[in-house]
């Protein structure tokens, strides 16, 4: 029963993708309706997974000798991420009804989104590393195709290609790790690997641990691979909210969390993870301070918050990291959709041309403010609880320098968040033209996400218990929501963090008085605007890949006779090999 449910929750959105495609671009209403219905059914199915959470393999499909068995496991970690993908996917689809109202080729748009939702759910529910790799690549493809959705815009096309190439670097790391596991254990099963990790040769384990860290850093846009995420902001905003804030970029964090028990004993791995997280969080926060494109600010903030999650895993707080992932998925989707509504209505993403929009769009301002307060980590909202848990985990299990950096980063987060809110909704209008509030479908998604931001932290206790119950290889100490609330409120680091956040706020409030000080930091701002020079690495990767492709394209003559020659040559090679073996 549970096995069929697991299969259904992956296949229903894929069926939906076919159905939307089949409906055809002339029947726009049918396409909107089909996409919403299939996404909703997926969301309901994903919620039905909650009662059947367990550590057992619920479905195994034999896929022949060389692929091993394709298994599906409905444990807490997977089910929770599947629910996030399905519900936020549904809200993004509903939002799209208004957002994509005037666009052509809805079939391509909705099909790719539904294909992505199915692949993302498959990625987190599968227990086979090879299948995980397949789903991983499908999500990368959907991300590329949706970033480049406006394929007549060269910026969108190059952004998509860059995202694809850079995440492929991570994909190669993942595949190498999977093959290494296969070569030792003769199977791709994740559970079996976690069980026998201690018995593996340490050199092999070390390679895999750092290979997976590379994969995670590329997928989750961590330093030094982070520059693809800001470039991915050319995607339609619902896509950004779904793929580049709430789900796909979390796949790297998921990978680290999933394999944490095996890799934690590897010497230097935890320090490397902490370093990646801290450097990403701090650098991205500084870059978020100087960006002027509202979606780029949010992209840098996503990198920064993903840094928090990676950091939490590095210090052993797997639960804190997953809890922060949940909070972040909800409030960042809210912020992106809110920013999308603003940009859609006034027709630009440049914050210098916004300002004073709060009066004309009080609704968007209200929900955006909820998301912004959660991002800044102010009390009662979900971002506050999860960020405090991350910081407490860091104080308990990580190096002190990392904790202090993350604490300061919380202040930076508050600073760039309020700079953004101010530039968009307050101050004086810097643009002309009529402005109206968000239309109905947009409001619906935004309200649901705002309510989620206000309340999702209540589920912390049950969520932790679900993880602890179904993850046999992780050691998690979990408590009820009440206990978590109590510990967070009673701990002095919470108040210290709040003081730092308040400091960040007041820094924005008194920005004029600090002008003398900030003018000294001009050089830092220039460096941040230039991505601290990290762009060259991504640039080098992209250039190498494209240059090689350019050269290899000479072998594709398009001439039938040459292709036949290739076939014959291949045949000869196979024959020679067979004779040589015989």
Partner 1 sequence: MIPFPLIIVLIAVLGLLGVGLYGLLAVRNLIKIVIALQILGKSALLALIAAGRASGQVNLGQSLALTFIVADTVVAAIGLALAVRVRRRLGTLDARELGKLRG
Write the DSSP symbol of residue 399.
-
CA of 452: how far to CAs of 14, 326, 329, 516, 571, in Å? 27, 10, 10, 41, 59
Specify whether the CB–CB gap between 333 and 456 falls below 8 A: no
Alpha helices (runs of H) in 148-201, residue ranges in sequence order: 154-185, 190-196
Would you say 271 or 575 has its CB closer to partner 1?
575
CA dihedral 298, 300, 303, 308 (to 10 degrees): -90
Specify whether the CB–CB gap between 324 and 233 falls below 8 A: no
Specify whether the CB–CB gap between 480 and 391 falls below 8 A: no
Q: Which residues from 457-486 bind partner 1, rule CB under 8 A?
A: none
Q: Which residues from 522-581 bind partner 1, rule CB under 8 A?
A: 557-561, 564-565, 568
Q: Nearest distance from residue 566's CB to partner 1, in Å?
A: 11
Paired residues of 59 in beta bridges: 72
CA of 483: how far to CAs of 143, 247, 326, 462, 486, in Å? 39, 29, 19, 12, 5
Can you give the length of the chain in residues? 582
Dihedral over Cα of 569, 571, 574, 578: its sign: negative
Closest CA to 397 of 298, 319, 306: 319
Would you say 536 or 562 has its CB closer to partner 1?
562
Helix axes 250-263, 318-346, angle to 10 degrees: 170
Would you say 519 or 556 has its CB closer to partner 1?
556
Would you say 66 or 555 has its CB closer to partner 1?
555
Exposure b/e, 534-572, CB count within 10 A at least 16 = b: beebbeebbeebeeeeeeeeeeeeeeeeeeeeeeeeeee
Dihedral over Cα of 356, 360, 362, 365: its sign: negative
Would you say 102 or 558 has its CB closer to partner 1?
558
Would you say 62 or 559 has its CB closer to partner 1?
559
Closest CA to 256 of 238, 280, 291: 280
In this structure, what are the phi and psi dihedrals at residue 38, rounded to the nearest 5 degrees? -65, -40
Q: Nearest distance from residue 563's CB to partner 1, in Å?
A: 9
Would you say 540 or 565 has its CB closer to partner 1?
565
Would you say 434 or 579 has its CB closer to partner 1?
579
Q: Nearest distance from residue 107's CB to partner 1, in Å?
A: 20
Q: Nearest distance from residue 559's CB to partner 1, in Å?
A: 5
In this structure, what are the phi and psi dihedrals at residue 360, rounded to the nearest 5 degrees? -80, -30
Q: Nearest distance from residue 562's CB to partner 1, in Å?
A: 9
Burial class (CB in 10 A: 0-12, 13-18, 19+), 440: exposed
Distance CA 407, CA 394 (A): 10
Q: Nearest distance from residue 558's CB to partner 1, in Å?
A: 3
Q: Nearest distance from residue 161's CB to partner 1, in Å?
A: 20
Q: Nearest distance from residue 154's CB to partner 1, in Å?
A: 18
Q: Nearest distance from residue 560's CB to partner 1, in Å?
A: 4
Q: Nearest distance from residue 561's CB to partner 1, in Å?
A: 6
Dihedral over Cα of 400, 405, 411, 413: its sign: negative
Q: Is 56 in the site for partner 1 (CB under 8 A)?
A: no
Specify whether the CB–CB gap between 73 and 127 falls below 8 A: yes
Q: Nearest distance from residue 67's CB to partner 1, in Å?
A: 26
Would you say 203 or 558 has its CB closer to partner 1?
558
Q: Nearest distance from residue 568's CB to partner 1, in Å?
A: 6
Q: Nearest distance from residue 571's CB to partner 1, in Å?
A: 9
* Locus of tokens 């991504």: 538
Please, what is the end-to-end C-alpha distance for the chain in angstroms? 48
The size of the interface with partner 1 (CB under 8 A), counted in residues, is 8
Residue ranges that bind partner 1, judged by CB under 8 A: 557-561, 564-565, 568
């Amino acid at each position: 029963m549970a096995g069929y449910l697991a299969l259904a929750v992956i296949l229903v959105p894929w069926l939906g993708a076919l159905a939307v495609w089949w409906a055809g671009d002339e029947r726009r209403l049918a396409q909107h309706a089909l996409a919403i219905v299939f996404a909703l059914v997926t969301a309901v199915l994903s919620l039905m997974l909650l009662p059947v959470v367990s550590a057992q393999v619920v479905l195994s499909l034999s896929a022949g000798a060389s692929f091993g068995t394709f298994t599906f496991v409905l444990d807490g970690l997977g089910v929770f991420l599947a629910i996030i993908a399905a519900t936020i996917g549904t809200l993004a689809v509903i939002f799209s009804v208004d957002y994509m109202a005037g666009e052509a080729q809805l079939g391509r748009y909705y099909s790719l989104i539904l294909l992505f939702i199915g692949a993302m759910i498959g990625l987190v529910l599968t227990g086979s590393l090879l299948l995980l790799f397949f789903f991983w690549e499908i999500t990368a493809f959907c991300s590329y195709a949706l970033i480049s959705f406006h394929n007549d815009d060269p910026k969108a096309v190059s952004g998509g290609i860059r995202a694809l190439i850079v995440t492929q670097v991570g994909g190669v790391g993942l595949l190498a790790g999977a093959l290494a596991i296969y070569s030792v254990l003769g199977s791709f099963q994740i559970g079996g690997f976690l069980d026998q990790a201690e018995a593996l040769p340490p050199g092999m384990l070390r390679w895999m641990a750092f290979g997976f860290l590379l994969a995670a850093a590329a997928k989750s846009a961590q330093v030094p691979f982070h520059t693809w995420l800001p470039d991915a902001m050319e995607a339609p905003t619902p896509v950004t909210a779904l793929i580049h804030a709430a789900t796909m970029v979390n796949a790297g964090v998921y990978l680290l969390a999933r394999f944490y028990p095996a890799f934690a004993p590897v010497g230097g791995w935890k320090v490397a993870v902490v370093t990646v997280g801290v450097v990403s969080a701090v650098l991205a926060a500084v870059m978020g301070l100087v960006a002027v494109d509202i979606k780029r600010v949010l992209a840098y903030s996503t990198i920064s918050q993903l840094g928090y999650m990676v950091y939490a895993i590095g210090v052993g707080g797997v639960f804190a990291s997953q809890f922060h992932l949940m909070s972040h998925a909800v409030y960042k989707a809210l912020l992106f959709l809110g920013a999308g509504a603003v940009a859609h209505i006034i027709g630009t993403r440049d914050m210098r041309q916004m300002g004073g929009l709060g009066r004309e769009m009080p609704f968007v301002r209200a929900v955006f403010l909820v998301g912004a307060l959660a991002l800044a980590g102010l009390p009662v909202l979900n971002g506050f609880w999860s960020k405090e848990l991350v910081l407490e985990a860091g104080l308990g299990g990580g190096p002190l320098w990392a904790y202090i950096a993350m604490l300061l980063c919380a202040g930076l987060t508050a600073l760039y968040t309020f700079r953004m809110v101010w530039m968009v909704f307050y101050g004086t209008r810097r643009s002309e033209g009529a402005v109206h509030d968000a239309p109905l479908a947009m409001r619906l998604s935004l309200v649901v996400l705002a309510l989620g931001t206000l309340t999702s932290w209540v589920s912390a206790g049950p969520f932790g218990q679900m993880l602890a119950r179904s993850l046999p290889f992780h050691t998690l100490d979990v408590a009820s929501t009440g206990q978590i609330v109590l510990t967070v409120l009673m701990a002095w680091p919470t108040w210290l963090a709040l003081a730092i956040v308040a400091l960040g706020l007041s820094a924005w409030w008194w920005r004029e008085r600090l002008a003398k000080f900030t003018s000294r930091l001009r050089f830092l701002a220039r460096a941040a605007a230039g991505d601290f020079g990290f762009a060259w690495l991504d640039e080098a990767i992209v250039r190498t890949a494209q240059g090689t492709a350019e050269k290899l394209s000479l072998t594709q003559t398009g001439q039938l006779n040459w292709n036949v020659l290739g076939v014959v040559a291949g045949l000869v090679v196979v024959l020679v090999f067979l004779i040589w073996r015989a």
